[in-house]
Amino acid sequence: MTIRINTDGSCRGNPGPGGWAWAENSEHYASGASADTTNQRMEVLAVIEALRANPVGDIEIVSDSMYVVKCFNDRWHAGWLRRGWKNSQGQPVANRDLWEDLFALAFAGDRTISFTWVKGHSGDPDNDFVDSLATAAAYSQSSASAG
């Protein structure tokens, strides 16, 4: 059975104070904050924290971040690794530190991690929930969790 987890990142300014969140449902979720970050970093960190908190079983990550979803579904990661952590323009991959952590979690073991894109701010209740958690974390610079 695959566990479906929604993730989101938020940033007040870019860079600025940010927040991340993941949720399996309204009873199993977490969020956190970073004082000086970017939206992209928070999107990636949300997935890292979701995988850390759910270390076993197959997982479907649902995100409104094309940055995260395309990295896996369009196999950007394979090109980055083949080119020695350079993007298709020959520049260093942004947020390499987080991507390395995420790849270690996503490609470890024998479980399957899949990625699905959902349009943000479109009325999807699960995406709206993680958006509200990430936004609250960015504003309050605090964390929350349940379950």
Report the catalytic residues: 8-9, 43, 64, 121, 131
Distances in whole angstroms, Cα of residue 59 to Cα of each of 24, 29, 74, 116, 138: 10, 14, 18, 11, 26
Query: Are the beta carbons of 73 and 115 closer than 8 angstroms?
Result: yes
